Amino acid sequence: MVLYQLTFLLFALIDHATAAMPKFVFAHFIGGNAASLTQDQWESEIRLAKHSLIDGFALNIAQQDTNTENILQKAYAAAENVGDFSLFLSFDYLSGGPWPVDRVVDTINKYKESPAQFYYNGRPLVSTFEGVANINDWPGIRNKTGCFAIPDWTSLGPQRFAEVRHNVDGFFSWDAWPAGANNKSLYSDRVWKNATHGRPYMMPVSPWFYTNLSQWNKNWLWKGAQLWTERWEQIYRFQPDLVQIISWNDYGESHYIGPVHADGIPQGAARYVENNHHDAWRELLPYFIASYKFGDRSRIRIARDTLVYWYRPNPNQSGSNGGTTGNCPQQGQQAMDPAALAEDKIYIAVLVKEPSWISVQIGSNNITSLYADRAGLSTFEVPFDGQTGNTKFWIMRNRTEVAYTTGPAITADCVDGIVNWNAIVGST
Ligand SMILES: *[C@@H]1O[C@H](CO)[C@@H](O)[C@H](O)[C@H]1NC(C)=O
Ligand SMILES: *[C@@H]1O[C@H](CO)[C@@H](O)[C@H](O)[C@H]1NC(C)=O
Ligand SMILES: *[C@@H]1O[C@H](CO)[C@@H](O)[C@H](O)[C@H]1NC(C)=O
Ligand SMILES: *[C@@H]1O[C@H](CO)[C@@H](O)[C@H](O)[C@H]1NC(C)=O
Ligand SMILES: *[C@@H]1O[C@H](CO)[C@@H](O)[C@H](O)[C@H]1NC(C)=O
Ligand SMILES: *[C@@H]1O[C@H](CO)[C@@H](O)[C@H](O)[C@H]1NC(C)=O
Ligand SMILES: *[C@@H]1O[C@H](CO)[C@@H](O)[C@H](O)[C@H]1NC(C)=O
């Protein structure tokens, strides 16, 4: 209900916006995790994304995945059926190795006539995940497809990208998480935007990062905290040409905002994904996306009071750390104790119609009261302080409860004795 109301309002606002280049928000969709989705399920995913004001999916496809063709057919057919939702291809050059040029060309040409294909500046948009050994393929790919290429070649670094940018049309950065205990700033976005030299910049935003997948030798986390709210604040200020949310359904890296489909969870990740739903993060998106697109959020009115909370279910020293490192040593970062980056806190974001009191309780401990001193968005952090138990949240105004919800327990009883470093997310 609230989403429809806000959607209606947004469209009213956009009609009055000036004729600047339109802005778009996409979500990175891992095709490989969607092999079991029926076309009906694809349509349902697309409707959920549309309700959040997401414009489309960037379809991550791996060349060795024998389901790729089947996945693309269902995705494009579903998007055509639902309507008013776009797709573009994101060729993954790391998972399963580099794509042969001819297959890239054929795949783009096969889907570019679909009414669901996203066109940017009049050309079918195409992206990548990495592929820095195949940069010289792109003049030919662009010539044979007429595509608008916005690759993610983040591992190149901005200086080397500046030397090869004439091969493509823009840049998408994968640098969405902070190093160590730092907060993620706009610094990398400014540097990448500069390196595009006037070409479009697609800015990444991601809510979280934790992965433990022994089959790919991955086991690290980056600081999550208020990344979801802080990055959208940065997007509002920086006004990039395009935004890509990382991700819709990458369960193995814990940054999904779409529904959890058990069949799509990679081997070994169920321990930290199955009971860690993230859907409520999407409830903030209409506000975030409307703010970014309209560029002036003072005129966005909140249709319904909403509180979104997130926290890890286990205190940071309540079990084995699972060998997880804070930071990613394989990428040259200094390995840190994950407990030094994973704060024992409940994170809260509220969207309220008027100034309101927010109350939080862990177990049967004392209630913490916080004041949201303005209409619109406010964020809060409540330390666990050693408290455990189920959580309760209220929004109160004029001594009346306007919204209430409960959340799963914060508990030192870790599944398999290993701290679950993924977030659980819920809302009123
Ligand atoms: C590809 O290059 C040829 C030769 O320069 C040119 O005629 C053709 O229009 C180009 N095709 C596209 C799609 O850019
Ligand atoms: C990160 O931001 C939070 C506010 O969201 C602030 O309290 C904290 O000091 C910042 N940390 C660093 C390392 O700058
Ligand atoms: C901006 O890009 C130019 C090259 O295109 C480079 O010389 C300059 O150092 C860059 N500035 C920043 C702040 O990254
Ligand atoms: C987590 O990672 C470690 C180190 O790679 C591995 O030994 C362990 O099996 C992984 N756990 C799962 C559930 O994959
Ligand atoms: C990790 O847990 C310890 C013990 O509860 C706490 O003192 C510390 O502040 C936590 N780490 C962070 C980054 O919050
Ligand atoms: C809880 O509140 C009571 C009454 O105000 C106070 O005496 C007590 O110290 C509080 N407990 C904690 C852990 O803050
Ligand atoms: C709450 O009270 C204030 C004045 O005390 C009033 O202006 C406001 O309309 C009231 N809000 C609601 C939702 O009743």
In terms of Cβ atoms closer than 10 Å to its own Cβ (0-12, 13-18, 19+), residue 215 is exposed
Specify the pairing of strand 389-397 against strand 400-410: antiparallel
Q: Give distance in angstroms: CA of 317 to centre of ligand 5.
A: 8
- pLDDT for 242 equals 98
- pLDDT for 299 equals 87
Q: Which amino acid is at 145?
A: T
Domain of 317: which CATH number? 2.60.40
- Is residue 295 domain-shared with residue 387, that is, in the same domain? no
- Is residue 393 domain-shared with residue 420, that is, in the same domain? yes
- Is residue 132 domain-shared with residue 208, that is, in the same domain? yes
E strand intervals along 269-355:
306-311, 325-326, 345-352
**Nearest ligand 4 atom, CA 267:** 14
Domain assignment of residue 364, yes or no: yes
- pLDDT for 21 equals 78
- Is residue 151 domain-shared with residue 183, that is, in the same domain? yes
The token pair that represents 15 in the structure block: 């009609």
- Is residue 331 domain-shared with residue 226, that is, in the same domain? no
Q: Which of 153, 158, 201 is nearest to 21 (CA)?
A: 201
Domain assignment of residue 202, yes or no: yes
- Is residue 292 domain-shared with residue 378, that is, in the same domain? no
Domain assignment of residue 1, yes or no: no
Q: Cβ neighbours of residue 19 under 8 Å, at least 6 residues apart?
A: none
- pLDDT for 6 equals 53
Ligand 7: lining residues by beta carbon, under 6 Å: 354, 397-398
Q: Which of 236, 240, 166, 242 is nearest to 197 (CA)?
A: 166
Domain assignment of residue 341, yes or no: yes
Q: Give distance in angstroms: CA of 388 to centre of ligand 7.
A: 35
The token pair that represents 248 in the structure block: 């819709």
Domain assignment of residue 2, yes or no: no
- Is residue 383 domain-shared with residue 274, that is, in the same domain? no
Ligand 2 lined by 38 (C-beta under 6 Å): no
Domain boundary among 299, 328, 346: 299
Testing ligand 1's pocket by substitution, the residue of 123, 142, 143, 168 carrying the most ligand atoms inside 8 A of its CB is: 143
**Nearest ligand 5 atom, CA 384:** 5
Task: Tell me how many helices (H) and strands (E) the chain has.
Answer: 10, 20
Q: Which of 294, 380, 364 is nearest to 15 (CA)?
A: 294
Q: Give distance in angstroms: CA of 354 to centre of ligand 7.
A: 8
Domain of 20: which CATH number? 3.20.20.80
Q: Which domain holds residue 423?
A: 306-427
Report which protein residue has its CA nearest ligand 1's atom 4: 143
- Is residue 134 domain-shared with residue 209, that is, in the same domain? yes
Residue 389: CB atoms within 10 Å: 13
Domain boundary among 299, 329, 355: 299
- Yes or no: say if 246 and 256 are a contact pair by the CB < 8 Å rule: no
- Yes or no: say if 349 and 284 are a contact pair by the CB < 8 Å rule: yes
- Is residue 77 domain-shared with residue 211, that is, in the same domain? yes
Domain assignment of residue 26, yes or no: yes
- Is residue 329 domain-shared with residue 258, that is, in the same domain? no
Domain boundary among 246, 268, 299: 299
- pLDDT for 20 equals 63
Domain assignment of residue 199, yes or no: yes
- Is residue 119 domain-shared with residue 256, that is, in the same domain? yes
Query: What is the DSSP secondary-structure string of 33-69?
Result: GGTT--HHHHHHHHHHHHHTT--EEEEEEETT-TTHH
Report which protein residue has its CA nearest ligand 3's atom 5: 195
The partner residues of 397 in beta bridges, in order of sequence, read 400
Under-50 pLDDT residues of the chain: 1-5, 7-19
The ligand that comes nearest to the alpha carbon of residue 105 is 1
Domain assignment of residue 35, yes or no: yes
- Is residue 222 domain-shared with residue 279, that is, in the same domain? yes
Domain count, the chain: 2
